[in-house]
């Protein structure tokens, strides 16, 4: 079917829906309903007179109108309507000459009055429930419309059931068609995104599956970036009811991130040249260190430490930029994890001795591994540096390694200040520094764990942090014995 034919069918359906809705609203109007009931009673009475019959089932013909009056006016009016209907029936019976039987009168009066009272009570209960349901629905709708995210619900077949106001505005702004399933509507955006092929493939997966998802796409012409997520909605027995969709515009966030990344990269590159010059001059001064006075040698050592720290910060910033650009290179080779760990412990020992922290290496024998020795050494250096930094004077740090389930497991454990539970989910975020670090004014950039995770995951490994505030921290790294291909990784 062509798009024009589909649009015509949809317009006809919409017209029928509007006509049905108008008829429902008209029928629901109290005055109209009362008029219909009264006309029905009179018409039934006239029909009985015209036909000359008001036999045993004659009162049944009055039941719908009595029930309608009771539904609109309540149980008391319903009972009176039953009495009135019985009177009309008796009048018709007198006209056509039926015998006057008190027992028959009671048999006809009781059901009509009963129908009126019961219908009135049921209607009042239903009306009360309907008003409560309407109030609940109105509150839920107001809450959903007040959210910043666009939210909609589709049934199991992908048909739109509900959409809040933000999503409706977004659909109009994006020019989405008003017909078809949600995935079909979103597919019209494919050619306008920066990755049309990936966008189509993702929409196909969403149309055929029901797993939760989270995706991001960018429009080419406007540069607007949207983050969309979905989740299945199921009954208690696991039966699929439908899917909830959420759409959020993150254009401002992504622009800010790009500006920040560009700024960091520019500053890092600009700092490298003067730092290189400073390092060179400090080396030249080092050749004449013996001729310097004690104060001069103190200043020289302070300059060396400051320059070295700045160089580490610049290198970390540049490495994070490579990680974000997915340009991290890993050159793997066979190594001995025990030797690498021992070198990391020796490198960290001066900082530990300064705080009188005992750093222990717990490894039994060589542990062969395929890894990038430089990058993996950087991971161990960062993790040991963090452990020492957050461990109080007189504390202890242990670096252990072992084989477990066909993998090499490295654990760095300390008895330091620990990490609050609500901060554990953010420790791998760029530039994030915990409350303990800021409270104690500890130096750092918040990039150590970001770099460590990128390097570990580049080795097809995993890294996790287990900690509690005041109870120390344990960082666990698990690495495969061999890399899938070896060589350079991107």
**Cβ within 8 Å of residue 417, ≥6 positions away:** 390, 391, 392, 436, 469, 470
Q: Are residues 170 and 90 in the same domain?
A: no
pLDDT at 487: 42
Contact between 86 and 110 under an 8 Å Cβ cutoff? The reply is: no
Distance CA 483, CA 461 (A): 10
pLDDT at 488: 41
Q: Are residues 476 and 368 in the same domain?
A: yes
Distance CA 113, CA 67 (A): 10
Contacts of 192-200 with C-beta under 8 Å, sequence gap 24+, read: 192/219, 192/220, 192/221, 193/217, 193/218, 193/219, 193/220, 194/218, 194/219, 194/220
| DSSP 3-state of 152 | strand
Q: Are residues 202 and 343 in the same domain?
A: no
Distance CA 46, CA 7 (A): 49
Distance CA 339, CA 345 (A): 10
Could you tell me the residue range of the domain that residue 336 belongs to?
Answer: 330-489
Q: Are residues 19 and 71 in the same domain?
A: yes
Q: How many domains does the chain have?
A: 4
Q: Dihedral sign, CA of 78, 83, 84, 86?
A: positive
Decide: pTM greater than 0.85: no
CATH number of the structural domain spanning residue 174: 3.30.450.20
Contact between 202 and 183 under an 8 Å Cβ cutoff? The reply is: no
Q: Which of 213, 230, 249 is the last residue of a domain?
A: 249
Through-space distance between the first and last CA atoms of the chain, rounded to whole angstroms: 47
Q: Are residues 274 and 409 in the same domain?
A: no
Q: Which of 299, 324, 349 is the last residue of a domain?
A: 324
Pairing of strands 488-489, 330-331: antiparallel
CATH number of the structural domain spanning residue 439: 3.30.565.10
**Cβ within 8 Å of residue 243, ≥6 positions away:** 153, 154, 158, 210, 230, 231, 232, 233
Q: Are residues 381 and 454 in the same domain?
A: yes
Q: Which of 294, 366, 374, 383 is nearest to 330 (CA)?
A: 374
Q: Are residues 109 and 231 in the same domain?
A: no
Q: Are residues 131 and 232 in the same domain?
A: no
Q: Which of 307, 324, 341 is the last residue of a domain?
A: 324
Distance CA 344, CA 363 (A): 13
pLDDT at 7: 46
pLDDT at 226: 92
Greatest CA separation for the chain: 141
Q: Are residues 482 and 406 in the same domain?
A: yes
pLDDT at 399: 92
Tokens found for residue 95: 């006209």
Q: Which of 429, 489, 484 is nearest to 458 (CA)?
A: 489
pLDDT at 420: 81
Q: Are residues 480 and 462 in the same domain?
A: yes
Residue-level pLDDT, tens digit, the chain, 490 residues: 444 454 454 455 555 555 555 555 544 556 666 666 676 666 766 766 666 655 544 666 666 666 666 666 666 766 666 667 666 666 766 666 655 555 555 556 566 666 666 666 676 676 666 677 777 777 777 777 888 888 889 888 888 888 888 888 888 888 888 888 888 888 889 889 999 999 999 888 888 888 888 898 899 888 899 999 999 988 888 888 889 999 998 888 888 877 777 777 777 677 777 777 777 777 777 777 777 778 877 887 788 777 777 877 777 777 777 777 777 788 889 989 899 989 999 988 888 888 898 988 888 788 888 999 998 998 999 899 888 888 888 889 999 988 888 889 999 998 888 888 777 778 877 776 666 666 655 666 677 888 888 889 888 899 998 888 878 889 999 999 887 764 443 3
Bridge partners for 163 per DSSP: 152
Alpha helices in 52-74 (DSSP H): 63-73
Q: Are residues 168 and 305 in the same domain?
A: no
Q: Is 473 exposed, middle or buried (0-12, 13-18, 19+ CB in 10 A)?
A: buried
Q: Are residues 437 and 389 in the same domain?
A: yes
Distance CA 300, CA 293 (A): 11
Backbone angles phi and psi of 233, in degrees to 5 = -115, 120
């Amino acid at each position: 079917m062509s798009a024009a034919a589909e649009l015509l069918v949809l317009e006809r359906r919409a017209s029928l829906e509007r006509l049905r809705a108008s008829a429902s609203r008209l029928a629901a109007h109290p005055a109209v309903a009362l008029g219909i009931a009264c006309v029905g009673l009179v018409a039934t009475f006239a029909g009985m007179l015209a036909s000359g019959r008001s036999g045993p089932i004659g009162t049944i013909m009055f039941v719908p109108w009595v029930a309608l009056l009771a539904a609109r006016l309540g149980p008391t009016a319903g009972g009176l309507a039953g009495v009135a209907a019985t009177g009309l029936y008796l009048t018709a019976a007198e006209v056509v000459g039926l015998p006057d039987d008190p027992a028959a009168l009671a048999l006809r009066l009781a059901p009509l009055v009963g129908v009126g009272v019961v219908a009135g009570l049921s209607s009042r209960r239903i009306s009360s429930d309907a008003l409560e349901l309407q109030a609940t629905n109105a509150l839920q709708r107001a809450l959903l419309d007040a959210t910043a995210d666009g939210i909609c619900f589709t049934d199991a077949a992908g048909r739109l059931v509900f959409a809040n106001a933000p999503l409706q505005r977004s659909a109009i702004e994006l020019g989405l068609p008003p017909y078809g399933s949600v995935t079909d509507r979103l597919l019209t955006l494919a050619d306008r995104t920066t990755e049309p092929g990936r966008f189509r493939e993702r929409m196909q997966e969403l149309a055929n599956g029901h797993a939760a998802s989270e995706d991001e796409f960018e429009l080419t012409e406007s540069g607007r970036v949207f983050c969309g997520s979905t989740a299945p909605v199921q009954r208690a027995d696991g039966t699929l009811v439908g899917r909830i969709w959420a759409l959020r515009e993150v254009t401002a966030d992504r622009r800010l991130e790009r500006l920040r990344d560009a700024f960091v990269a520019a500053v890092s590159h600009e700092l490298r040249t003067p730092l290189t010059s400073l390092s060179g001059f400090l080396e030249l001064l080092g050749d004449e260190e013996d001729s310097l006075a004690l104060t001069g040698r103190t200043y020289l050592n302070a300059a060396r430490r400051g320059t070295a720290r700045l160089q580490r910060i610049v290198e970390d910033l540049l490495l994070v930029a490579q990680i974000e650009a997915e340009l991290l290179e890993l050159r793997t080779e066979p190594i001995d994890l025990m030797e690498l760990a021992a070198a990391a412990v020796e490198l960290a020992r001066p900082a530990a001795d300064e705080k009188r922290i005992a750093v222990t290496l717990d490894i039994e024998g060589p542990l062969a591994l395929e890894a990038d020795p430089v990058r993996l050494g950087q991971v161990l250096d960062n993790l040991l540096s963090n452990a020492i930094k957050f461990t109080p004077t007189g504390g202890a740090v242990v670096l252990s390694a072992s084989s477990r389930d066909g993998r090499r497991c490295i654990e760095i454990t300390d008895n330091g200040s620990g990490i609050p539970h609500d901060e554990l989910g953010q420790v791998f975020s760029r530039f994030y520094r915990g409350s303990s670090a800021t409270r104690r004014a500890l130096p750092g950039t918040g990039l150590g764990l970001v770099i460590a995770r990128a390097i570990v995951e580049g080795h097809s490994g995993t890294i996790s942090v287990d900690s509690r505030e005041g109870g120390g921290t344990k960082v666990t790294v698990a690495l495969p014995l061999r890399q899938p291909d070896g060589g350079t990784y991107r």
